[in-house]
Structure 1
Amino acid sequence: MAGVGPISQDWEPVVIRKKAPNAAAKKDEKAVNAARRSGAEIETLRKSTAGSNKAASSSTSLNTRKLDEETETLAHERVPSELKKNIMKARMDKKLTQAQLAQLINEKPQVIQEYESGKAIPNQQIIIKLERVLGAKLRGKK
């Protein structure tokens, strides 16, 4: 290491500049303006839905009208009272809380609560998991 002088580095600033985002658009605009000044005939095209939501709004008005004309009241299917009673009974027989049962079937405790209160929309996969964990047939004839 003897004889080696102090190491010096030459740090010079490096400047990186981005190109202007609309450079091409400005060139086109300049060319159009120059052509206008010279009196040349210019043909311009406008996209029909450029910068607006016209295409989306026309389809929504049709859907809105259909909804307004609809007279049938629609509701989600709910858990039948027989099913919710069967779930509660089977859970009590196994001495499980709603939270413990939910953990066993890898669902949130709120799901079990909704099934037992009858507010849930029935999901066959969840019912099958419940039947497997509880060891009881919850739907249909026993």
Structure 2
Amino acid sequence: MSGVGPITQDWEPVVIKKKAPNAAARKDEKTVNAARRAGAEIEAVKKYNAGANKAASSSTSLNTKKLDDETENLAHERVPSELKKAIMQARLDKKLTQAQLAQLINEKPQVIQEYESGKAIPNQQIIGKLERALGAKLRGKK
């Protein structure tokens, strides 16, 4: 690195200026100022929902009516009691805890607990993992 001089930094101040108002804004400002000088009374009007999409708001009343008319009680499918008992029995036969079984199938222990308590929504992939890990058939006819 011979022959190279010291490195110096040359700092220049950077000035950032605010953009000037466009022609329309200046024109409005000029007319307002002229009216003030003339002594005229100036009234500012705030426009509410000026840029709102009117078409979207009118369709909500139709959807609300459909929802009000809906009487069917919808609920997620839960784990059937036969499956709960089969998982628990197969796990106990292998002498595994819920946490150990969860680790075997790469799921959280909470997932096993929910399946055995019947709170989980059945997932065929998880049931398949459980069948392979436990070596037992859990779904379909035995």
Give the aligned CA root-mean-square deviation in angstroms.
Answer: 3.1
C-alpha separation in 2, matches of 1:128 and 1:101: 13
Q: Name the aligned partner's letter for residue 70 of structure 2.
A: E
Change (3 A) 1:18 1:65: farther
| Residue ranges of structure 1 left out of the alignment (5+ in a row) | 38-48
TM-score, normalising length: structure 2: 0.69
- Cα distance per residue 1:115-136 (max 9 Å; x no partner): 0000111011110111011110
Residue in 2 aligned with 1:14? 13
- Cα distance per residue 1:15-69 (max 9 Å; x no partner): 142653xx57x3333356779x9xxxxxxxxxxx853364544444333222211
| Residue ranges of structure 2 left out of the alignment (5+ in a row) | 35-48
Residue in 2 aligned with 1:46? none
TM-score, normalising length: structure 1: 0.69
Secondary structure class of the residue paired with 2:136? coil
Paired residues, what number?
123
How many percent of aligned residue pairs carry the same amino acid?
72
- Cα distance per residue 1:53-111 (max 9 Å; x no partner): 64544444333222211111111101000000000001111111111111111111111
Residue in 1 aligned with 2:37? none
| Structure 1 segment 1-142 matched on structure 2, within 5 A | 9=8, 11-17=10-16, 20=19, 26-30=22-26, 51-52=51-52, 54-142=54-142
